[in-house]
Amino acid sequence: MKQLILITSLIFLTNCSSNSIVKLGKKCTKIAADNTYEKSFVWIVDKKNIEDFSAKINRENCKINGEKS
């Protein structure tokens, strides 16, 4: 079952790579006005927005938000 999930995930991530870049690793957004934020280990980013992505979503925001490493 684990192998099936792994293969399916790899196929999904490979298909996304034509217009997008897959970023792996814990990254967070800044805290919003309503005291919420997004956190993920897998981010799919459009190639057009890759420069803005790193400025808005990064590991430092996780630390600022109080996440443990």
Confidence of residue 16 (pLDDT cuts 50, 70, 90): low
Contacts of 37 (CB under 8 A, 6+ apart): 28, 29, 30, 31, 61, 65
Is residue 45 in some structural domain? yes
Report the domain count for the chain.
Answer: 1
What is the rounded average pLDDT of the residues 3-32? 81
Contacts of 50 (CB under 8 A, 6+ apart): 21
Does the pLDDT at position 15 exceed 80? no
Q: pTM value? A: 0.66
Does the pLDDT at position 19 exceed 90? no
pLDDT tens digits, one per residue of 26-63: 999 999 999 999 999 988 888 888 889 988 999 999 99
Is residue 7 in some structural domain? yes
More confident call, 23 vs 38: 38
Is residue 69 in some structural domain? no
Domain assignment of residue 22, given as a range: 2-64
Outline where 1-69 has alpha helix (H). Answer: 2-16, 50-56, 59-64
